[in-house]
Structure 1
Amino acid sequence: MFKRVLCAGVFVSTGLQAALGAPLSLPATPFSYTVLDQELSAALQEFGNNLNIRVNISAEVKGRIRGRLPDLAPREFLDRLTNLYNLQWYYDGLVLYVSAAHEAQSRLLVLTPIGFDEFKAALDALNISDERYVVRPAPGNGLVLASGPPRFIALVDQTLHGLVAEAQARPRAAIAEKPPPESVLMLFRGSSTMVTRDGRPEGSYSSDVPRHDSIVQEPGPAQR
């Protein structure tokens, strides 16, 4: 059984620090939680239902809650369960993911062709960065170490792949937009010269010095 009682006071919403992933707005007013011999996963699911937050609970989250917990604000309640049952949680802006601590992952990711500062700035801008979990560059070799719960690692990995794909597409786009080289043809006939640019006659010029007929292909400005 999971019972929620709102203590007297004003219901105030407050956001977490920007460094803790996407902002998770939770009430600051304490709640009274009465749990009588309930599965931990069921209690967490009810916690999300009461606060209108979608919760994804890993199958590895196991245990039972017996007895009454002290009156705590929702964030403190969540952190208390995290500490008591060795859990990790991460909010991606839509869903609160709760997993067992032993599910945490560590990965070495290749940054090339982007830099760490660009990568970290993207994580911050997308509200993926979380000061509880590690994103740290390895000195001098274009690698970054990321450690944290599965959902956090998945978002870090997806962000890196997106940045790398964008960086690799830039040179091809520049080549595709580059105009074709200009073709200039000069036809000498006697004392006159005819200039043809990209297949179109541009004009003729006369000279007092007689010449034999000849054709000269000159590079355009883009070929010089």
Structure 2
Amino acid sequence: MLKKVLCAVVFICLNVGRTLGAPLTLPSTPYSYTVLDQDLAAALQEFGNNLNIRVNVSTEVKGRIRGRIPELPPRGFLDRLIHLYNLQWYYDGLVLYISDAHEAQSRLLVLNPISFDAFKTALDALSISDERYIVKAAPGDGLVFAYGPPRFITLVEQTLKGLLAETQARQSTAGVDRSPHDSVLMLFRGSSSTVIRDGRPDATASPQAPHQDSPVHATNSGRQ
């Protein structure tokens, strides 16, 4: 069941040594960029254009680049600007998000009934986890503390919502199970319905069936 949730929010994933969200793969050749006086946000957008990477620069990123920047590999160039102008970056596998460090957000999230280990496993599997930013169990009953740039926090919250929705759906299904291995198909024809349970017609019929001539619901209520 967990795989269904993970597949709903898949991002481009490659294996890397460090946990930095989805890996931002950049060339190792020097990035030559000559600038005398340029808007910082514009320089970051041009960086993405030159390397064919989608870049989202926050409107809070302000400042100007003045003077020559040493010739560095693309990652070195990016990290230099991040350090000089007190910025943060996060790559979700599709877009490189760059924000001012002051935009970082913190959240105290309620995990119940999800365990912290299951939550952390989902974040790791989706390449959302990032060792630069915080996701840790907090004191209390089923609480987790998260801290990082806006895009990172958004993905953390979306992952938790997906896991909670999946758990609630599973519990709801379990509440109407007749047996651990029932397979049910309901066929509606005009105003009558036929229930096929485990491949055999069942005597139960719905007097308020919708007017359609096709199967509308198939479930496998076996517990996992």
Q: Give the TM-score normalised by structure 1.
A: 0.72
Number of residue equivalences: 168
Residue equivalent to 1:119: 119
Deviates more, 1:18-27 or 1:105-114: 18-27
Bigger shift: 30-39 or 88-97?
30-39
Matched, 1:56 2:75: no
RMSD over aligned CA atoms reads 1.8
Q: Give the aligned partner of residue 168 of structure 2.
A: 168
Q: Secondary structure, in 3 states, of the residue corresponding to 1:59?
A: coil
Q: Higher strand fraction: Structure 1 or Structure 2?
A: 1
**Structure 1 residue 18: deviation in Å?**
4.8
Higher relative contact order (CA 8 A, sep 6+): 2
1:154 maps to 2:154: yes
Secondary structure at 2:32's aligned position in 1?
strand
Equivalent residue number for residue 93 of structure 1: 93
Identical-pair percentage:
73
- CA distances 1:46-83 after superposition (whole Å, capped 9, x unpaired): 00000000000000000000121011111111111000
Query: Cα distance, 1:16 vs. partner?
Result: 5.3
**1:23 Cα deviation (Å)?**
1.3
One-letter code of the match for 2:93? G
1:121-200 mapped onto 2 (5 Å cutoff): 121-179=121-179
Q: 1:98 to 1:123 in 2, by over 3 A?
A: same
**Unpaired runs of 5+ in structure 2?**
1-13, 180-201, 204-224
Which SS does the other structure have where 1:47 is aligned? helix
Deviations along 1:143-162, one digit per CA (max 9) or x if unpaired, are 00000000000000000011
Distance in 1 between the 2:16 and 2:34 partners? Answer: 25
Q: Which runs of 5+ in 1 are unaligned?
A: 1-13, 180-197, 200-224
For 2:107, the aligned partner's letter is R
Question: Which amino acid is 1:167 matched to?
Answer: T
CA distance in structure 2 between the partners assigned to 1:106 and 1:117 by the alignment: 20
SS at match of 2:62: coil
**2:106 maps to which residue?**
106
Name the CA distance, whole Å, in 2 between partners of 1:28 and 1:37.
26
| Residue matched to 1:192 | none
**Whole-angstrom distance in 2 between the partners of 1:38 and 1:17:** 35
Q: Deviations over 1:31-50 (max 9, x none)?
A: 22211200000000000000
Give the SS at the match of 1:23.
Answer: coil
Greater alpha carbon shift after TM alignment, 75-84 vs 135-144: 135-144
Structure 1: which 4+ aligned runs deviate by more than 3 Å? 14-18
Alignment match, 2:84: 84
